[in-house]
Structure 1
Amino acid sequence: MSSALSTVIIIAALLAAAYSLVTALRDRAMGWDHLAALGVLEALLVAQMAVGFVKLAGDGKGPDDTATFVGYLIGVVIIPVVSAGWGLLERTRWGPGVIVVACLAVAVMVVRLGQLWEGAVV
């Protein structure tokens, strides 16, 4: 996996989570700026998914548990889309709250993807 891309994704996810937390604490609903942040995060995750599948297909070396790795790779891409829909439906401050949880989950899953690729057992 690309550690530089993973780092960028983690930083973007944590920044989106922090911004959404501030919005939730201010008792505001989700806005277009949240969708833009989730869109950027989604684009980065799609790029990571493409890199992950290319490395799985091309390298002889891959993760020990390929099924779990692929599950994380696909699952992490779904989270921002679902959180955007849920956040739009929830027109209270809990809409941005959903985004906070989703972005934190994305950051943790990206770290776990790196661990799976390197063969770390946690």
Structure 2
Amino acid sequence: MVEWFVGVQVVIAVLAGTAAIVVGLAGVKPNDYTLGATLLVEALLVVQLVMAIIAPAFGNVATGSGLEFWIYLVSAILIPPAAVMWGLIERNRWSSVVLGVACLSIAVMVYRMSQIWFVQLA
């Protein structure tokens, strides 16, 4: 993992999640902005996946449990597509809130992945 990229991911996920929750509570159905922001969070997770695969080859090895890290990463990658599918199928204001909660949960998961990668000692 790359530390600055983790910060970028967390900030974007928090902004996307907060915006989706606000517009959802305001009664706005999922639109291109909320769905697109969630897909941006997913794209950043895919980049994180690629980085996590190649990082050990360059000496950037996780200090914590590798299994725990990969379970977090795979689970995080599955959440945004599920939320987007929900938003496309169930077109109401609560779908926007679901997109927001998905993005906020990704922010927490990415932060936890960084703790596993950088802080813990196995």
Q: TM-score, normalised by structure 2?
A: 0.89
Give 1:13's aligned residue: 13
Relative to 1, partners in 2 of residues 1:61 and 1:16: Cα closer, same or farther, differing over 3 Å?
A: closer
Q: Tell me the amino acid that sits aligned with residue 107 of structure 1.
A: A
Alpha-carbon RMSD across the aligned residues, in angstroms, is: 1.7
- Superposition misfits of 4+ residues, deviation over 4 angstroms: none
**Identity over aligned pairs, percent:** 33
Q: Tell me the amino acid that sits aligned with residue 41 of structure 2.
A: L
Answer yes or no: is the 8 Å Cα contact 2:25–2:94 preserved in 1.
no
| Structure 2: gaps spanning 5 or more residues | none
Residues of 2 paired with 1:21 and 1:60: CA distance? 36
Residues of 2 paired with 1:68 and 1:44: CA distance? 20
Answer yes or no: is the 8 Å Cα contact 2:24–2:94 preserved in 1.
yes
| Structure 1: gaps spanning 5 or more residues | none
Q: Tell me the amino acid that sits aligned with residue 115 of structure 1.
A: Q
**Size of the alignment, in residue pairs?**
121
Answer yes or no: is the 8 Å Cα contact 1:52–1:73 preserved in 2.
no
SS class of match (1:29): coil
Give 1:45's aligned residue: 45
Q: TM-score, normalised by structure 1?
A: 0.89
Residues of 1 paired with 2:58 and 2:25: CA distance? 46
